[in-house]
A and B are shown apart, each in its own frame.
Chain A
Amino acid sequence: MSALVEGLLRELAPQALTAVLRYGADFGAAEDAVQEALLAAAVQWPGEGVPDNPRGWLVRVASRKYLDWRRREAARLCKEAESVEWSRPVEVDHCDELTLLFLCCHPALSRPARVALTLRAVGGLTTEEIARAFLVPERTMAQRITRAKRQVATGGLRFTPPPPHEFAQRMDTVLEVLYLVFNEGYAASSGVEVHRAALTGEAIRLARQLHRMVPDNAEAAGLLALMLLVDARSAARSDGGRLVPLREQDRSKWDAGRIAEGIALVESALRDGVVGPYQVQAAIAALHDEAPTAEDTDWLQIVGLYEVLERLSPGPVVRLNRAVAVAMADGPHAGLALLAGLDDDPRLARHHRLAAVRAHLVELTGDHARAVELYRAAARATASVPERDYLLGRADRLTRG
């Protein structure tokens, strides 16, 4: 099958799914019908050519497959075949795609279930591809997806848009799922794990779709901007599997196109919409991306943005990042003072990030012996191999003087 047809089918699959769901099909039956229609298209299109209205074709075939299935089911149950009105034209619009996304990211589902279902139903990835990306056996991922679908069915979750008073909250869970997918891929993309790295591309694609569906939603724009602005640095962030910290990256390797697109998005979102955490994080990423060298970074403005972020979504990780920015703007002692309050936070107590940030700030004060201890403590606590190697490398560099 040509890449063109394959790409087209992937794009159309979620739309066909929403169309069948709209007729009241349950998730499993709707998906089976779409799979059959995709198979038919994959067989016919390369030979006979892509139909004039490929979306209409796919929706029609998928709907017919679903109807056939219903008839067979009805016959099996010795019932009269139900009469279903199929003649009205099928219009899939953005509204339906959004409803599908809301359904897949429903708060009644567990977080891993939301992620798996979104990639499967909206992203159109195969179970095998999702399993490979998350480094779990295909059987495990199939179970997760099956369970998620069952939860949709038994929980009575409906293919209807959320009521207006729930919209913002439900949008938060959608954004969170897309950001989880992005981070899963981004954290992996330094290594040889190309299958996981593909997740960042998928997350960006989904965030783009979402932004098209709700162009006026400032946080959806902010999330897309954040992904673009962070992903723009991907070519510079690893050197043969070794993590390269932001301040040491070769900025000529950064993707100028992505940076420009991200900056334009976040600027317009901040100008027109309600300010939210994703926009602020995107604005911070933009300031990093705009600086020609690490020394030229506008730390004062970054400190200001972290203060805004901490008001919007307080938490120990935001405090950690703010401390780094404060240290860069006002010196390491000011940053260390901000960290002092975090020692008793149970959310960070066993986390390597607190020790790693403290090690870095202590190094800046010139107390190398203490910094070495802290780097090594952070290295022992991390569960990431490249991070451990990076932290041990910092410690070694200081002991060698």
Chain B
Amino acid sequence: MKYLLLIQSNPANWATLTQSEQDGMMTEYRALTQEMVESGEHLDGGPLTDPQTTRTVRVRDGRAEVTDGPFAESKEYLAGYYLVDVESEERAVELAKRIPDARFNAVEVRAVMDMGGLES
């Protein structure tokens, strides 16, 4: 089963961390990523740029409107993601618990829809 682990973060919180705290978190991230790569569970992932760099696209009546800034105003933003292929939802949750940002904000675990199904 494939799951997207959505890492929510508050840029203001991140700014309050000391350099060594930030370095510590990055080390944790690298170790976790490395572990998931080695177990054959990691498909993709990475940090996203600051929300202020967002460009939002809307198409209305065939015309595209592009604005600077995120779609919804919020304190928390999607700061990064992992796409994993794991044995069960429990395993996806287990990995999410170990994402450093889960301690400060939250990580959402969402299953990716599958094109297969069973007739009943």
A, B from the same assembly:
yes
* B84 shortest CB reach to chain A, Å: 10
Query: Inter-chain contact count A-B, CB under 8 Å?
Result: 92
Q: Does B102 contact A (CB under 8 A)?
A: no
Contact in complex: A143, B115 (CB < 8 Å): no
The DSSP consensus for interface residues of chain B is loop
**In the bound complex, do residue A144 and residue B117 qualify as a contact, i.e. CB atoms below 8 Å apart?**
no
Q: For the complex, count residues of A whose C-beta is within 8 A of B.
A: 47
Determine whether B39 belongs to the interface, using a CB cutoff of 8 Å to chain A.
Answer: yes
Check if B87 is an interface residue, CB within 8 A of chain A. Answer: yes
- The docked-state distance in angstroms from the alpha carbon of A383 to that of B113 is 5
Query: Nearest Cβ distance between residue B46 and chain A, in whole angstroms?
Result: 15
Partner of A246, one of B87, B116, B120: B120
B43 touches A385 (CB 8 A): no
Known contacts A110-B87, A134-B85; decide if A384 and B116 are in contact (CB<8 Å).
yes
* B120–A193 touching, CB < 8 Å: no
Q: From residue 78 to 120 of chain B, which have CB atoms closer than 8 A to chain A? A: 85-87, 111-120
- Whether B119 lies near A383 (C-beta < 8 A) is no
- State whether the Cβ of A112 lies closer than 8 Å to any Cβ in chain B: yes
A188 to B39, CA, bound (A): 24
Q: Does A140 contact B (CB under 8 A)?
A: yes
- Once bound together, how far apart are the Cα atoms of A233 and B117, in whole Å? 14
Question: Which residues B55-69 have CB closer than 8 A to chain A?
Answer: none
Give bound CA distance, A249 to B119, whole Å: 10
Give bound CA distance, A246 to B42, whole Å: 37
Interface string of A127-146 (1 = CB under 8 A from B): 00000001111001111111
B85: contacting residue among A140, A142, A324, A386, CB under 8 A: A140
**Chain A 73-93 interface residues, beta-carbon cutoff 8 Å to B:** none
Contacts of B114 in A (CB 8 A): 187-188, 383-385
Interchain residue pairs A-B with the least CB separation, the first 8: A144-B40, A188-B116, A384-B117, A387-B117, A187-B116, A386-B117, A143-B40, A383-B111
Task: Name 20 extra pairs, CB < 8 A, besides A112-B86, A385-B113.
Answer: A136-B85, A137-B43, A140-B41, A140-B85, A143-B39, A143-B40, A183-B118, A187-B116, A188-B115, A188-B116, A246-B120, A353-B120, A357-B120, A382-B117, A383-B114, A384-B114, A384-B117, A386-B116, A387-B118, A388-B113
